[in-house]
């Protein structure tokens, strides 16, 4: 019998990516489609549309579907042998939501193998532009939700986080209020992860516990939707969300669409999809005392924890590998896109020149500090660029090289300070595991190591979310519970 293969997908902010691994966990194939470059007809910047209020941020759902069509065609023309794939799983940027229109499930079940997905799913969504994690337009809804459950700390005790603008419950509440027709036409609300899983299963799929923890709607200890939170956001919400399942659940066999169009084996199983950060935790194989830093579009920092202590800063999610345990996460919106801006302004748009600036300036930047939040930050909630000289005086500008070091040192100092506030301690055995696009840059990683005074390791692929999902596909096949398909 031919060697099996396992696929891990990632529907992230700027691209769709895929990795194949063999039975020995070796990566045998990698591919990606960048939305801005390869789907220019959707006019996104960094995979998203920032609206005129500068707070609302959306992405076109059909762009994600078309990206999947293109990447599958690319795999086919490169000779990828789909028939060897025994299981697949995937990840999505967290918190973003997709609104399946009444009747869409029927369309998913009856896909014709002669046509690409995006042509067949054109009319399947009640909203063509989906709110994503960069959105910060739901402050009113956040305060309402916290009030409804007797305060921010209570909400955090239930759902793992106080109310955050990007969290899906608050986004749904805004859509119900501003676009009640779209809400009532919606049969199923999915996360980006469960939406992507539906494309492969050919049916609606449940939300997994781990990504479901990023909604302000899920009771992280009881592992079920929280009725007071649902009631505070929108009517008939439980019905529209469907069930929630452990992250390693086997959802069922791949849709016959993929068997007929690409030659997948009809036995290939779809394992529940999850959030990109939970998927990275699986891909990086974290150990106790380790801390993972993902430098993707967002910067995130996460840890595997056994006993959750939800707070007013940071998030607790159900763990994607062991559903009885947890992960802690801090998220920063001004990550790679902020670094790209400073690179363009102070390093002629070149990462090499950016690196030379880091190499030729001193650790500590001679006492000059900077904090850069061109878009409303999540941790802490603030905007603007703030620079201080060695005498602690506010200054308007820094010379180019000093600006670059101030940005990177400021970004990593914030991460260390916030992690320590959550109780994390750097100890002699601490390892930092880095992933995401910017982890390709050794000079950025050197600053990370200097700030934490700890060694930094990377894995061969910076796509730890994809890799984690390929591992999760194997894990789900071995231990995952079968999820009975709901026929609606």
Q: Minimum Å distance from CB 467 to ligand ADP?
A: 12
**Cis-peptide, bond into residue 181, ω within 30° of zero:** no
The listed partner (ligand 5SP, ligand ADP, none) that binds 242, CB under 5 to 8 Å by sort, is none
Residue 336 found at the interface with ligand ADP (CB under 6 A): yes
Pairing, β 85-92 against β 5-11: parallel
Q: Is position 464 an interface residue for ligand ADP (rule: CB under 6 A)?
A: no
Residues 388-402, buried b or exposed e (16+ Cβ, 10 A)?
beeeeeeeeebeebb
Q: How far is the CB of 398 from ligand ADP (least distance, A)?
A: 19
CA distance 29 to 62: 25
Contacted entry of ligand ADP, ligand 5SP, none for residue 300, CB cut-off 5 to 8 Å set by kind: ligand 5SP
| Closer CB to ligand 5SP, 99 or 332, in the complex | 332
Binding site for ligand 5SP (CB under 6 A): 12-13, 93-95, 133, 166, 214, 275-277, 296-298, 300, 329, 331
CB of 248 to ligand ADP, least distance (A): 22
Task: With contacts defined by CB under 6 A, name the span among 72-80, 259-267, 306-314, 440-448 that binds ligand ADP.
Answer: 440-448
440 lines the binding site for ligand ADP (CB under 6 A): yes
Q: Which part of the chain contacts ligand ADP (CB under 6 A), choosing from 7-15, 80-88, 94-102, 324-332?
A: 7-15
Query: What is d(CA 364, CA 405) in angstroms, rounded to the nearest whole number?
Result: 8
**Residue 13 makes contact with ligand ADP by CB under 6 A:** yes
Binding partner of 277, given ligand 5SP, ligand ADP, none, CB within 5-8 angstroms per partner class:
ligand 5SP
Position among 340, 353, 374, 450 found at the interface with ligand ADP (CB under 6 A)? 340
Token readout for 63 is 């762009």
Give how many residues touch ligand ADP by CB under 6 A.
Answer: 16
301 binds, among ligand ADP, ligand 5SP, none (CB under 5 to 8 A by kind): none
State the minimum distance, in angstroms, from the CB of residue 67 to ligand 5SP.
Answer: 14
Query: Least Å distance between CB 336 and ligand ADP?
Result: 4
Residues 343-402 that bind ligand ADP (CB under 6 A): 351
Which does residue 441 touch among ligand 5SP, ligand ADP, none (CB within 5 to 8 A, set by kind)? ligand ADP
Which span sits near ligand ADP by CB under 6 A: 60-68, 367-375, 381-389, 438-446?
A: 438-446
Question: Which is closer to ligand 5SP, CB of 10 or CB of 187?
Answer: 10
- Choosing among ligand 5SP, ligand ADP, none, which partner's interface includes residue 133 (Cβ < 5 to 8 Å by kind)? ligand 5SP
CB of 391 to ligand 5SP, least distance (A): 36
CB atoms < 10 A from the CB of 307, how many? 7
Rounded to a whole number of angstroms, the minimum distance from the CB of residue 17 to ligand ADP is 7
Q: Which partner in ligand ADP, ligand 5SP, none is near 438 (CB below 5 to 8 A by kind)?
A: ligand ADP
Which of the stretches 11-19, 197-205, 237-245, 320-328 binds ligand ADP when contact is defined by CB under 6 A? 11-19
Distances (CA, A) of 486 to 196, 206, 254, 447: 17, 9, 15, 50
Binding status of residue 212 toward ligand ADP by CB under 6 A? no
Residues 286-305 that bind ligand ADP (CB under 6 A): 296-297
**Shortest Å distance, C-beta 136 to ligand ADP:** 17
Rule CB under 6 A: say whether 441 interacts with ligand ADP.
Answer: yes
Does position 92 bind ligand ADP by CB under 6 A?
Answer: no
Q: H/E/C letters for each residue in the chain?
A: CCCCEEEEEEECCCEEEEEEEECCCCEEEEEEEEHHHHCHHHCCECCEEECCCCCCEEEEHHHHHHHHHHHHHHHHHCCCCHHHEEEEEEEECCCCEEEEECCHHHHHHCCCCCCCHHHHCCCCECCCEEECCCCCCCHHHHHHHHHHCCCHHHHHHHHCCCCCCCCHHHHHHHHHHHCHHHHHHEEEEEEHHHHHHHHHHCCCCCEEHHHHCCCCCEECCCCEECHHHHHHHCCCHHHHHCCEECCCCEEEECCHHHHHHHCCCCCCEEECCEEHHHHHHHHHCCCCCCEEEEECCCEEEEEEECCCCCCCCCEEEECCCCCCCEEEEEEECCCHHHHHHHHHHHCCCCHHHHHHHHHCCCCCHHHCEEEEECCCCCCCCCCEEEEECCCCCEECCCCHHHHHHHHHHHHHHHHHHHHHHCCCCCCCCCCEEEECHHHHCHHHHHHHHHHHCCCEEECCCCCHHHHHHHHHHHHHHHHCCECCCCCC
> Are 467 and 90 in contact, with CB atoms under 8 Å apart?
no
Pick the closer one to ligand ADP by CB: 13 or 319: 13
59 lies in the binding site for ligand ADP (CB under 6 A): no
Of the candidates 320, 437, 468, 476, which one interacts with ligand ADP according to CB under 6 A?
437
Asked if 233 and 173 count as a contact pair (C-beta separation under 8 A), the reply is: yes
Binding partner of residue 76 among ligand ADP, ligand 5SP, none, CB under 5 to 8 Å per kind?
Answer: none
By CB under 6 A, name the binding residues for ligand ADP.
12-15, 296-297, 336, 339-340, 351, 436-438, 440-441, 444
């Amino acid at each position: 019998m031919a060697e099996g293969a396992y696929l891990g997908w990632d529907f992230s902010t700027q691209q769709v990516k895929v990795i194949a691994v063999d039975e020995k966990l070796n990566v045998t194939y990698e591919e990606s489609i960048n939305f801005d470059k390869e789907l220019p007809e959707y006019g996104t910047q960094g995979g998203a549309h920032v609206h005129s209020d500068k707070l609302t941020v959306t992405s076109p759902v059909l762009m994600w579907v078309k990206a999947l069509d293109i990447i599958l065609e690319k795999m086919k023309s490169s000779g990828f042998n789909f028939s060897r794939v025994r299981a697949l799983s995937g990840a999505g940027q967290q918190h973003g939501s997709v609104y399946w229109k009444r009747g869409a499930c029927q369309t998913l079940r009856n896909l014709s193998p002669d046509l690409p997905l995006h042509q067949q799913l054109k009319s399947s969504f009640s909203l063509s532009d989906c709110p994503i994690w960069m959105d910060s337009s739901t402050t009113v809804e956040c305060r309402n939700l916290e009030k409804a459950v007797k305060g921010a700390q209570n909400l955090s005790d239930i759902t793992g986080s106080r109310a955050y603008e990007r969290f899906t419950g608050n986004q749904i509440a805004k859509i119900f209020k501003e676009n009640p027709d779209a809400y009532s036409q919606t049969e199923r609300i999915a996360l980006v992860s469960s939406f992507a899983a539906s494309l492969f299963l050919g049916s609606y799929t449940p939300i997994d516990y781990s990504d479901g923890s990023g909604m302000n709607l899920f009771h992280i200890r009881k592992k079920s939707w929280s009725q007071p939170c649902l009631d505070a956001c929108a009517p008939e919400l439980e019905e529209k969300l469907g069930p929630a399942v452990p992250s390693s659940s086997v959802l069922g066999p791949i849709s016959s669409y993929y068997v007929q169009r690409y030659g997948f084996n009809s036995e290939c199983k779809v394992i529940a999809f999850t959030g990109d950060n939970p998927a990275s935790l699986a891909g990086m194989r974290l150990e106790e005392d380790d801390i993972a830093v993902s430098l993707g579009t967002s910067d995130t920092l996460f840890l595997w924890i056994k006993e959750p202590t939800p707070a007013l800063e940071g998030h607790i999610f159900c763990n994607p590998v062991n559903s009885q345990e947890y992960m802690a996460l801090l998220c920063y919106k001004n990550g790679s896109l902020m670094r790209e801006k400073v690179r363009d302004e102070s390093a002629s748009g070149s990462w090499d020149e950016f690196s030379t600036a880091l190499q030729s300036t001193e650790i500590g930047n001679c006492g000059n500090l900077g904090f850069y939040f061109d878009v409303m930050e999540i941790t802490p909630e603030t905007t603007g660029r703030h620079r201080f000289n060695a005498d602690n005086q506010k200054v308007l500008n820094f010379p180019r090289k000093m600006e670059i070091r101030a940005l990177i040192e400021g970004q990593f100092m914030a991460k260390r300070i916030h992690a320590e506030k959550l109780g994390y301690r750097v100890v002699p055995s601490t390892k930092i595991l880095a992933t995401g696009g910017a982890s390709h840059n050794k000079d950025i990683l050197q600053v990370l190591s200097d700030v934490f005074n700890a060694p930094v390791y990377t894995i061969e692929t910076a796509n730890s979310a994809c890799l984690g999902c390929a591992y999760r596909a194997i894990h789900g096949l071995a231990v995952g519970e079968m999820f009975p398909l709901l026929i609606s």
